[in-house]
Amino acid sequence: MCDSFDSEKLFSLIPRLPESETFCRALEANLEDDSTGLLERFRRGEALSTDDSEVLFDAAFEAFRENLTAVLSLAWDGGFPGMSGAIWVSELAGVFAVTSTDYSPMGPFESLDEALACECLNIVTPDPELDSAVLPMERLLNVARGVVDWENEGEIWINSERYTVQGNELVADATD
């Protein structure tokens, strides 16, 4: 289930994120005015007040969000104003997030599989387009199966290639 961004889970995953120097720099910059040594107290495992936890979460969330790299994008176009949008699955140091034009941020997720299980990536969408420079085609086809309109013999564009529903399969259009 993918309802919102979980601050407690982000706190538990912060120790994985120092693999990213850009995350560390952004987090420190976001906490620059912190005169109480909040980040050092957190690193030592000291208990934080509710206010300090909120300050740290906001700073960590912004640093995380600013340093994500897109792994997958799903776009759609309903043909009317306000009926188009996109969803992005992004990653930083093995931690994933799902963001969208239509949904609140979701995550963090400890695996790509966990992120791809979000309900918003399993809803039939009008004129869907999937793009990824890093995921293998079989993985993209699995995502496509969740968003293409099977009942109306729909189509989906995957990395600029058109696929259509034929029976129980998504088949790439033959090119001449």
Q: Where are the domains of the chain?
A: 21-66, 71-172
List pLDDT tens digits, range 96-123: 999 999 888 899 999 999 999 999 999 9
Least confident range of 72-81, 144-153, 159-168 = 72-81
Q: Looking at per-residue confidence, does 103 or 15 come out higher?
A: 103
Least confident range of 12-21, 113-122, 148-157 = 12-21
Picking from 59, 137, 135, 125, the residue whose alpha carbon sits closest to that of residue 96 is 135
The enclosing H or E element of 74 equals strand 69-77
Torsion of CA 169, 160, 100, 149, to 10 degrees: -30
- pLDDT over 60 at 176, yes or no: no
pTM comes to 0.84
